[in-house]
Amino acid sequence: MFGALVLYSRLSSAGTYVSAIVVSVPYSRVSTNDTLRGESPQPPEAVVLSTFCGSSAIIRSQSQILNILLLIFHELWWYLYVVANSRALLAHLSRRAGFGATPAELDVAERDGWDATIRRLVKGLHETDAGLSQVLPPQFLPFASEVGAGAASAKTAEFLALTNWWLDLMLSTPTPFREKLVLFLHEQFPTAYSKVNYPSLLYRQNAIFRDMGHGPFDTLTIAISKDPAMLIWLDAGTDLVAHPNENFARELMERFALGIGHYTESDVKQLARCFTGWALNYQTGLFTYSVAEHDFGVKTFLGHSGAFTGEQAIEIVTKETASAHWIVSRFWSWLAFPVGPNHPVVANLAPLYAKNRHFGSLLESILKHPEFVSTQSTTGLVKQPVEYTVGTLRALQLTTASFPSGYVMNLLIKLGQQLFNPPTVGGWGANGFWLSTAASLTRLDFAQTAASLGNLSRIEDEAPRARIDALANMLGIEKWTKHTTTVLHAAKDNPVMLTSLGLVAPEYVMN
Amino acid sequence: MPSLSMDRRQFLAGALATGAYGALHHTLGVPRSRSIGPKVAPRLSPSQGGRILVLLTLYGGNDGLNTVVPFSDPSYIQQRGSIAIPESSVLQIGQGFGLHPALTGIKALWDAGQVAIIRGVGYPNPNYSHFESMDIWQSGNPSGDQPTGWIGRWLDTTRPDPMQALWLGANLPLAFVGKNQQASSIAASSSPASQIPTGGAELRSFYALLQQAHRYDTKLQRASMSAGTNMLAVSQVISQSLQHAPAVAQNFAATAGSFGTELGVVAQLISAGMPTQVYGVSLNGFDSHAGELASYATLLKQLDSGVAGFFKSLRGVPQGAQTVLVIYTEFGRRVVANASEGTDHGSGNTAFVIGPSVKGGFYGDQPSLTQLDSNGSLAVTTDFRTIYSTVLEQILDVDPSVILGGQFTGVPFI
């Protein structure tokens, strides 16, 4: 079998080789994951073999020696693969766990190596962010003075400033993985200005994502649920004993924590009773709990029965087995390639996540998972508009202030991903969702504007024939296809044109 | 309104015959001769009965009971309490029903016999998730598992042509995505300049070259390139159409907001004689869990001025007579109000079909307000696919069973 695989690998193209091997030996590395050490659900070699042989019956008849040989082979292969593709994979890592790397940043990552780079990224999830002090948040009027219709124009200005602040933070932060996590959490708990209507409250929610996002899911969910932005967004602030509002209870299970198909309509009604009495105090802008309006009776949902409070209800829902699968599938789909809650890679990671339900640990185990560097992963995602925009501004050394006021926010509206304003509680779509004709036109216009404003010295300083590689390097592209190279070659004398084309090449539209 | 002027006809013929539109067909492997003028445009001419579908999606779950109000039913007032619309303010349309007072424009269209109201619409085993229920509606399949939309599957039965279906907005909803084809999307802007790339001809031709797919490209890359190629073709035609069409958008955009702008652009494109057969527009914000009375009236006012303005601007336009507007939403609301002066997710809802060629009136049985399902929702008396069946057969000229995977007796509103 060993020989056959090697032979196969030699005969195959590089891409097929990678996917064949990685798919064949998917999960053994998990056992060496720092966060999960010693608690692997089953012996890794058994997983390897079952995938190799396609039958657990065969595993039992295999000799221990073959198991060990295969493990050694796999580890050796893994090492060679990551080393051989070092720079390309590090670029992939920096796009997924951030907004792309500059050539200098890639040099550093290459020097540090794969494991150390992941360690640094993950450490950044917990660190006090130096970038926060560099990019100052907008000033908000006191909450009470914004209640009602009076401060409409002030709020419009605050909202634009809020959007620019977060974009500029994504651009300049030394801990980009943290901002990426904040973006993912914005998508996991989508809350929109269209209904919340107070920029200061959206800022407070964003700060909770940043401060608590790497920690336990239940603590984060409780904090977000009692936070005013969510209270307004899902009408939780108006729950009453008589006819509890079901909006928040439903979305808590369907979108935030469990996923569809793991609860009943009766669970929704029962869960809603737990949140009665939760409200927003419009004088202070803070959460308030009204004892008189709380339903203290026994509630029965998801097989649990008791006089649960809202906090207890969230702890129950976030600890369901289905929740682990849902959460893992969400993060995997953002970082690697789209999967449903029943995908094998989810089944593989869910028990590990379920040990502590910390998002930081989950993100680390995703980055360290062999499938994260598979061809399916490296070709599996389209840049979300925010990733496309921030990545481009980073590469061209621009900020939101480089453009006319409101330009970047308007760009994101036209691409369909306005920050702090998702269309529904379902958030945004993904991948193919971003590939519309309207978005193609917007990207082409933006590419041209950004290229004409940006710092192109990395292109201009090169001789024309070296510019195509320099452009790939600047944009974090491993390699242009032959066809793209031909087209870019024709535009190499005009750096603005060349850069514009690089920004709309299919390779760059992918993440 | 004057009939289609000579220069508008000329420009369109020019764009279709020689412009990017023809080039696009070339790249898609369709013989050029088949896409030129006469083969495409006359399909929509009123003389040949070609109809145009405008699909309006109300996101959030519209409260059908407060849209078409059963004011004469005592249990309506009793269960709705403070958010009930009283008899004194409804716009009466007979059989004990009245339209919400904000719907004055739609009431005028009803009086002209151009509004079909279909009652008790839904599907078996109602799903109360916005997303699942919208997926069911948009896929046309109650399982919710079908990855293509019903308009998308119609597109799959037709010759590849990015002009056939247009969605107003950045990103396509499921309804407009097929297995092999998908609709094009355009910005909701009536400015011709905003519909074409700002770069010069050189950038555009390089861009066109970049979007040519090759064997080794991934599926997503090919999708990206296909969108880019289609964009170049569509943008030319749209921009020229808007340039030559009468400016109707401003008439009602002010009161109907961005939704009005979307319908305004559609009205302009229809009156310019575009070959497009399906347009998609949307209005958000119908998830009225709290404080429904005031916010809902504002929203319906927006809906009403958009719809009324749309048909007003199409008066006298040949294609206007063949234009049919279908209004749907993912589900209705519960009969009994919640404690937040709002309503929670329900079923058994109302759909509208509006247009000069529509046979106005009530269709479908009104569900009882007292004999509710176990969730406190209205019963479903009309399968939503019966509406699709009529639309597919009468407007899109296709065998409905091919798209819906089964036979559904249509609703005779056309």
Angle at B290 between CA B286 and CA B291, to 5 degrees: 95
Chain B interface includes A501 (CB < 8 A):
yes
Interface test with A, best of B143, B206, B226, B334 (most A CBs within 10 A): B206
- Whether pLDDT at A165 is above 60: yes
Residue with tokens 């209507």: A197
Q: Chain A closest CA to B321's CA: distance in Å?
A: 29
Question: Identity (one letter) of the amino acid at A259?
Answer: G
Asked if pLDDT for residue A361 goes beyond 80, the answer is: yes
Q: What is the chain B residue with the closest CA to A490? A: B206
Letter string b/e over residues B94-116, b meaning 16 or more CB atoms within 10 A of that residue's CB: eeebbbbbbbebbbbbbeeebbb
Q: How far is B78 from chain A (nearest CA, A)?
A: 15
Interface test mutation site (partner B, options A248, A271, A441, A480, max chain B beta carbons within 10 A)? A441
Are B325 and B353 a contacting pair, CB within 8 Å? yes
* Rounded Cα gap, residues A467 and A489, in angstroms: 9
Tokens of A76: 């050796």
CB contact under 8 Å between B224 and A491, yes or no, is: no
- Distance between CA B200 and CA A500 in Å, rounded? 12
- From chain A, the residues in CB contact with B336 under 8 A are 243
Determine the pLDDT at residue B1.
36
For residues A222 and A314, the answer to whether their CB atoms sit within 8 Å is yes
**Band of the pLDDT at B375, cuts 50, 70, 90?**
confident
Helices (H) and strands (E) in chain A, counts: 31, 4
Closest-approach residue (CA) in chain A for B162: A437
pLDDT at B251: 63
Question: CB under 8 Å to B59, separation ≥6 — which residues?
Answer: A423, A424, B130, B134, B282, B283, B284, B285, B286, B287, B329, B330
Q: Is B32 helix (H, G, I), strand (E, B) or coil?
A: helix
Can you list the alpha helix ranges (DSSP code H) found in A86-172? 86-96, 103-112, 114-126, 130-134, 143-146, 152-172
Is it the case that residue B350 has pLDDT exceeding 50? yes
Distance of residue B320 Cα from the nearest chain A Cα, in angstroms:
26
pLDDT at B248: 67
Closest by Cβ to A437, choosing from B162, B206, B342: B162
Query: Which of B79, B224, B340, B344 to mutate against chain A (most A CBs within 10 Å)?
Result: B224
Largest CA distance in chain A: 78
Q: Vertex A227, ends A225 and A228: CA angle to 5°?
A: 120
Q: And the tokens for A460?
A: 């201009």
Q: Contact, B273 vs B40, CB < 8 A?
A: no
Give the tokens for residue A347: 């089944």
Lowest mean pLDDT among A35-49, A361-375, A448-462, B310-324: A35-49
Residue of B129, B203, B285 with shortest CB distance to A500: B203
pLDDT of residue A136: 87
Contact between B171 and A433 under an 8 Å Cβ cutoff? The reply is yes
Classified as helix, coil or strand, A245 is: coil
Residues of B in contact with A326 (CB under 8 A): none
B234-250 average pLDDT score: 83
Contact assessment for residue B284 and residue B259, using Cβ atoms and an 8 Å cutoff: no
Interchain contact, B235 vs A481, CB within 8 Å: no
User: How do residues A371-408 score in pLDDT, each as one tens digit?
Assistant: 999 999 999 999 999 999 999 999 999 999 999 999 99
Residue B249: pLDDT band (50, 70, 90) is low
Q: What is the pLDDT of residue B406?
A: 94
B130 at interface of A, judged by CB pairs closer than 8 A: yes
| Per-residue pLDDT, A149 | 67
State the Cα–Cα distance between residues B349 and B249, nearest whole angstrom. 30
Residues in contact with B380: Cβ distance below 8 Å, sequence separation at least 6, in sequence order: B120, B121, B122, B123, B124, B126, B347, B348, B367
Q: How many angstroms away from the CA of A505 is the closest CA of chain B?
A: 6
Query: pLDDT tier at B253 (50, 70, 90 boundaries)?
Result: low
Beta-carbon pairs below 8 A across chains A and B: 185
Please, which pLDDT band fits residue B216 given cuts at 50, 70 and 90? confident
Mean pLDDT: which of A125-139, A222-236, A345-359, B10-24 is highest? A345-359
Secondary structure percentages of chain A, helix, strand, coil, to 5: 65, 5, 30
What is the least distance, in Å, from the CA of B317 to any CA of chain A? 27
User: Which residue of A235, A381, A448 is in closest CB contact with B342?
Assistant: A235
Q: Looking at CA atoms only, how far is residue B181 from chain A in angstroms?
A: 12
Find where tokens 């890592």 sit: A93
Q: Is the pLDDT reported for residue A98 higher than 90?
A: yes
> For residues B140 and B150, what is the distance between their CA atoms, to the nearest angstrom?
6
pLDDT at B12: 40
Helices (H), B121-272: 130-139, 150-156, 201-210, 219-244, 249-271
| Average pLDDT score over residue span A320-338 | 98
**How confident is the model at residue B373, as a pLDDT?**
87
Q: Are B167 and A382 an interchain contact pair (Cβ–Cβ within 8 Å)? A: no
Q: A345 at the B interface (CB within 8 A)?
A: no
Binary contact (B169, A416; C-beta < 8 A): yes
* Gap between the Cα atoms of B73 and B87, Å rounded: 10
Q: Is the pLDDT of residue A310 over 90?
A: yes
Q: Give A437's contacts in chain B (Cβ within 8 Å).
A: 162, 184-186, 227-228, 230-231, 234-235
Confidence of residue A180 (pLDDT cuts 50, 70, 90): very high
Chain B, residues 157-176, CB within 8 A of chain A, namely 162, 167, 169-172
Residue B388 has pLDDT above 90, yes or no: yes
Dihedral, CA of residue A110, residue A114, residue A115 and residue A118, to nearest 10? 90
A311, A222 contact by CB (below 8 A): yes
Torsion angle defined by CA atoms of residues A46, A47, A51 and A55, in that order, rounded to the nearest 10 degrees: 50
B contact residues 83-112, partner A, Cβ 8 Å cutoff: none
Our CA-based measurement puts residue B183 at a distance from the nearest CA of chain A, in whole angstroms, of: 9
* pLDDT for position B294: 87
The interface predicted TM-score (ipTM) is: 0.86
Q: Give pTM, 2 decimals.
A: 0.86
Residues 201-220 of B with CB under 8 A from A: 202-203, 206-207, 209-212, 214, 216-218, 220
Return d(Cα B139, Cα B156) in angstroms, integer: 14
pLDDT digits (tens, 9 = 90+) for A32-68: 333 333 333 333 333 333 344 344 444 455 678 888 8
Q: Which DSSP letter does residue A431 get? A: G
Chain A residues whose beta carbon lies within 8 Å of the beta carbon of residue B211: 506
**Mean pLDDT over residues B304-322, rounded?**
92
Q: Token pair for residue B224?
A: 């990206």
Determine which of A18, A197, A436 to mutate to test the interface with B (most B C-beta atoms within 10 Å). Answer: A436
User: Which comes out higher in pLDDT, residue A15 or A317?
Assistant: A317
Start-to-end Cα distance in chain A:
35
Q: Is B193 in the A-facing interface, judged by CB distances under 8 Å?
A: no
Least confident of A115-129, A229-243, B272-286, B364-378: A229-243
Of A354 and A280, the one with more pLDDT: A354
Contacts with A242 from chain B: Cβ below 8 Å: 339
pLDDT digits (tens, 9 = 90+) for B42-80: 344 333 458 999 999 999 999 999 999 999 999 999 999
Interface test with A, best of B132, B145, B210 (most A CBs within 10 A): B210
Q: Flag if B339 and A239 touch (Cβ within 8 Å).
A: yes
Give kind and range of the element (H or E) at residue A137: none
CATH 3.40.720 fits B25-30+42-404, yes or no: yes
